[in-house]
Amino acid sequence: MKVLIVDDRAPDRSILRHTFQAHGCTTIEAENGREGLTLAARERPDLIISDAMMPVLDGFGFLRALKADAALRAIPFIFYSAVYTGENEEKLARSQGAEAFLVKPLEPNVLWQEVQSLLARRVGGEPVVPDEALRGEEPYLREYSHVVVAKLEEKVRELENMFLQMVRVLVNLLEAKSPWTMGHSERVAVIAVKIAREMGLDENRVNIIRLGALLHDIGKIGTCDALLDKETLLTAEEYAAVKTHPDFGADALLAIDQLKEVIPLIRYHHENYNGSGYSHHLDHAAIPLAARILSVADAYDAMTTTRPYRTLLGQEYALAELRRVAGSQLDPDVVQAFIKVLGQEEANGDEEIWRG
């Protein structure tokens, strides 16, 4: 049996080549649907096994062109793809004349058995033909768009998750510098997200705040370890050095386009509501709301965890202090939202993160 293998990934083609050759088959290979069409016309294989998503011409376009050619349409066509988001791919594949849509990876012997079973069904029977309802260009494109959208959405989720994991790697590198800050960024992120939702922010802005909270202290990578771990109060000169971390962190991330909306949170999270903060002395609405939310979450976590120069101050003290500085250091509306969230969490018995 002559098998045409069509896949843009060389390792996957190699696996298929060895699988079929181990059962006495002859194999020919193409990297995309366009090459596959050329080889199919020239070599007339007994079976085509193809990936779905490929450059130049993908598997669905390849299949559609194959079935439109009277000389080639009888060749059995099987999809073998790792990209599978639901029933849409299988439905479209079958409607266009494929024998099946198999999902990678399969053990070589299982794949061989599946192929043999599919081919056995064709013995003495008619080849699979495209669904008449989807032969027209518009119905096909409509169905195909569902497949593409599903795959794009899956890819976006994968990239978002990968990006968030990379952010957490950066945070872990920062927190490895000092045991005193371990877990600080994650806790601040949890608190800031809850405040943002309480204040009615949409999920896009909530996600920006989550990222900003995770990365808000990233500039401390450039701060001397001795200052982060110092057990006595900092001198004026040392404090001036520490105060450079918001700008240092924001500037370091400027090259990452995906963080452009996050950078203001990092740069301005130590600005005070009355303009007395650092490093740009912004006040009131000039400070982005997301940065004002982050300031409250950051302040609360700092007071309810142990630092090298003092023991933890506790929740009661922290709440009293937040109320005291509302309107001067912190945005009073954000403080009020935080207190409301805290009360809700306590009523639900979920207080662990709030007590440090």
Q: Is 297 exposed, middle or buried (0-12, 13-18, 19+ CB in 10 A)?
A: buried
Q: Which of 46, 66, 48 is nearest to 57 (CA)?
A: 66
Q: Contact, 302 vs 294, CB < 8 A?
A: no
Could you tell me if 269 and 320 are in contact, meaning their C-beta atoms sit under 8 angstroms apart? no
Q: Which two tokens stand for residue 212?
A: 């900003």
First to last CA, the chain: 67
How far apart, in whole angstroms, are the C-alpha atoms of residue 196 and residue 209? 8
- For the chain, give the number of residues: 356
Selecting among 2, 220, 243, 260, the annotated active-site residue is: 220
Any catalytic annotation for residue 260?
no
The DSSP call for residue 229 is T
DSSP helix/strand/coil, 130 = coil
Encoded tokens for 240: 């001036």
Catalytic residues: 220
